[in-house]
Amino acid sequence: MSRIGRLPIATPSGVKVEINGRTVKVQGSKGSLQEVIPEGIALQIESGSVTVTPAANSGKNSAAHGLVRSLVANMVKGVSEGFARTLEINGVGYRVAVQGSKLNFSLGYSHPVEYELPKGMTAEVEKQTILTLKGADKAQLGFVAARIRSLRGPEPYKGKGIKYAEERIARKAGKTGK
């Protein structure tokens, strides 16, 4: 049995968890999320917590036990507190601006780059070079942050490009002159 999977998931006040067949729906102040759980995993809603148990001790169920618990815990945290991811833009003339649900980037290309945020996500910009993405769905937030980073990934010589705030870029020395 998974050590992570055994832990109960505390549901804060204002968060509603519903189980309908294999679909788990979690609603809270930040939005609503739903996930289809694999067969062989059972969820029990008790007063103030959710417990995940495998139906049988097969290898497939044991592998999914901790995964399902983490997914449901991330859903509960997302609809109650939300998740955030910070990106930094480095480079002369590189910047970002928010216009509604669109992000407008100036990344050294001959044209501006636009990125449309998916529904349920918001963005904030500080000093034109620090972008903070916020949303309830952790997987979608990570996917959007990775897509934005791929618009102009950081390069190792000068460190120009878009990087995660906590990311450290391994720098290279470059050519040495005579």
pLDDT by residue for the chain (178 residues), tens digit each? 567 777 888 888 888 988 898 899 999 888 899 989 888 888 888 888 888 888 777 677 777 888 888 898 999 999 998 899 999 998 888 999 999 889 999 988 899 999 999 998 999 998 988 999 999 999 999 999 999 999 888 888 888 889 898 888 888 888 875 5
The predicted model scores a pTM of 0.83
Q: List, in sequence order, every residue forming a beta bridge with 89; answer none if it has no partner.
A: 162
pLDDT at res. 46: 85
Tokens of 108: 């050294």
Q: Where are the alpha helices (DSSP H) in the chain?
A: 3-6, 59-80, 138-149
Cβ atoms of 35 and 24 within 8 Å: the answer is: yes
pLDDT score for 175? 82
CA atoms of 120 and 141, how far apart (whole Å): 10
DSSP type of residue 64? H
Residue found by looking up tokens 């067949």 in the block: 21
Pairing of strands 41-46, 49-54: antiparallel
How far apart are alpha carbons 47 and 167 in whole angstroms?
40
Domain architecture of the chain: domains with CATH: 3-80 (3.90.930.12), 83-164 (3.90.930.12)
